[in-house]
Structure 1
């Protein structure tokens, strides 16, 4: 898929814009609008070219049409930013609406409310196809997935009528800096959930990196694999054997793996009362949340000596700002480093932007997608 939106003739055309607006919401409040801000240049360009935007995204991992995961909660944000927008939860009605009022953005309901999205149903893709004359993918953060709107749908458009948007073009340029001969030492800092995917990516990146700095929550699977105490921390049991192999491969390839020295912990589970341990393991009945001051100092030293730093996966909790101090300190160290520094993931990039820690840091909306891209050099959602 080419990134040639700027050359497309969209006058009077309907444009299906697949975005990644999966952002933190405590309905009806949007906790961080980084991904919304990031998609605006593509929306503006389509409208400037006379196209009607059919805006589609997923939100969370719904199981039963949970009201708090409806995309209707995005409407007020767009209106507050002076966009004319209409919400439509019925696809048949949306097809009718797509043919009127080209100045109005048509926002579809959460794509994952429709079973066909995750089931990769070709019939669902054909129904979505009726909404548009052009297909634009600007959902970098999920372009490593093959959901119906990301694979089956664009396959229904010929090469002249499908393309990636401005955000993806920008993201690819950032990713290529990490892929094409990154300067060494190359430090990978990795944390967050979605552990299984990230552990596989770590294995594939062992030939590229020099140092691996492990953060919560992924670090606890590594600790468990070594027989260390992790308390009630998040662990992916299915990845234990792979982690053991990664530790051995890292030794063979002389990749330094560095574990935290201390932690901020929570009583019972991730949402419990916070306290501190100066030990490199998690005590019984506690869950690890983020890294402590000794670890921040150690990691910052490694960052300062690096020529390339890639951070992926949020540690801490956006809903508990007091747990974000550690990640802010890491981003500060990255922003002051002399080499290439890239922060991957919508939530992490939002924090860096919010606290103006992006003077030198390059931020990406893609967490897992960017990790997948630099380890595989392609994305399924763009390789169409």
Structure 2
């Protein structure tokens, strides 16, 4: 984080500070059903308001494709944000640029907060249109990016706006970057990565990047089946990508050449039907029947993974070990997640997780708040794991 401007030395008093957040939160019947992202983003807003800034909050919501869609208005979010900020009044503007936005911003006093309407009501947002970016920038004196989850997109409110305003990293974005650096770039060794999910094809770049950054890679979920198939094992009717067995063997060979231990399942929980509480049994991976589907890893594999964690100081988790949404195929994911959480609480393991189903899997295991850091960034988290440069982060770098 040394090459980013942080909020620590920012004199914000009397300044109009535009804060890009990600308030694209779950909604039902016009009400916010999960305010986690709003709660996380509140820290930066409170700090800036406390410093006497006129805080201008901007966000997208849904995919209106450059048109005004009343069902995707941020107005209900203004009410929730006010509640999260302990009743602090949040002004709302019916547009994010133009007269409506200018009037609301112009009426702000030091320490007050306004939320502007959905950025994606304007086609210029997703096109990173310079004119739209300039119109946004004209509303403020300083720009703060606090939306890591949007930073893999070269949009006007993430990239274009930085051409006209001094840019800073917000507290949430700063925390996210520091956590990822701790798990990847500067991880305490030995370091392990647990990579699960359905398909190898979606994680090829992740695995390739991790080979140079960790000491052990634990592979689970449907993608493990492709590796087992590549070893010549019969996997019955299990989900696998047969056309990627050569790539799986290549990854295994690269791991071996770099002294990275690849931890694959040695047993699996199989069933002939993919449904809740389907009759199942645990078998060795060498004894999978022709009609069987591997839907979770077995106890021997769970024990091996937990033994691996005991020998490590850092764990990066991306993806479940099995079909955790359907019992009893959640057992491995829950057991390993709880072990990782316990080691974290004991100060023996730094745990960073995120991406896709990972947040839901850890919540299901009851450990979402027991890991060192859990990212809700989704696509941005995955691209970071792949080693890609994120446009929104590049735009913040100091020259």
> If the TM-score is normalised by the length of the shorter chain, which range does it land in?
0.7 to 0.9
Deviations 1:293-326 (A, max 9, x none): 5554443232222222111246789998998665
Any gaps of 5 or more consecutive residues in structure 2? none
- 1:151 CA drift (Å): 1.4
Match of 2:51 in 1: 49
- Give 1:136 deviation, angstroms: 0.2
- Stretch moving more, 87-96 or 350-359: 350-359
Which residue of 1 is the match for residue 214 of structure 2? 209
Select 2:168's aligned residue among 159, 163, 179.
Answer: 163
Partner of 1:246: 251
Kindly name which structure, 1 or 2, has the bigger radius of gyration based on alpha carbons.
2
Residue 390 of structure 2 is aligned to residue 382 of structure 1? no
How many angstroms apart in 2 are the aligned matches of 1:85 and 1:318? Answer: 40
Question: Partner of 1:74 in structure 2?
Answer: 77
1:330 partnered with 2:332: no
Contact 1:217 1:235 survives alignment (8 Å) = no
Superposition deviation, residue 165 in structure 1: 0.8
Aligned-pair CA distance for 1:107: 3.6
| In 1, Cα distance between equivalents of 2:136 and 2:199 | 29
Q: Give the 3 Å change call, closer, same or farther, for CA 128–284 of structure 1 in structure 2.
A: farther
Question: Is the 8 Å Cα contact of residues 137 and 161 (structure 2) preserved in structure 1?
Answer: yes
In the alignment, the residues of structure 2 paired with residue 317 and residue 60 of structure 1 have an alpha-carbon distance, to the nearest angstrom, of 28
Q: Which moved more, 1:95-104 or 1:349-358?
A: 349-358
Residue in 1 aligned with 2:177?
172
2: distance between equivalents of 1:362 and 1:344? Answer: 9
Q: Among 336, 342, 361, which residue is 2:352 paired with? A: 342
Higher alpha-carbon deviation: 128-137 or 279-288: 279-288
Alpha-carbon distance change, 294 to 368 in structure 1, aligned in 2, over 3 angstroms: farther
1:108 is matched with 117
Q: Deviations over 1:19-52 (max 9, x none)?
A: 2334444554545433222111101011112223
Distance in 1, Cα, partners of 2:358 & 2:328: 15
Give TM-score scaled by structure 2 length: 0.74
Query: Displacement, 1:209?
Result: 1.8
- What is the match of residue 139 of structure 1? 147
Find the aligned partners of 2:162 and 2:216 in 1 and give their Cα distance.
39
Counterparts of 1:241 and 1:64, CA distance in 2 = 43
Q: Distance in 2 between matches of 1:126 and 1:283?
A: 62
Structure 1 residue 247: Cα displacement: 3.5
Residues of 1 paired with 2:323 and 2:75: CA distance?
24
Separation in structure 2 between the aligned mates of residue 236 and residue 67 of structure 1, nearest angstrom: 46
Stretches of structure 1 that go unaligned for 5 or more consecutive residues are none
Give the count of matched residue pairs: 375
* Pairing of 1:184-333 with structure 2 (within 5 A): 184-192=189-197, 198-216=203-221, 219=224, 243=248, 245-260=250-265, 261-262=267-268, 273=276, 275=278, 276=280, 278=282, 295-313=301-319, 326-333=332-339
What's the Cα RMSD here? Answer: 4.2
Q: Which moved more, 1:331-340 or 1:112-121?
A: 112-121
Separation in 2 of the partners of 1:83 and 1:46? 14
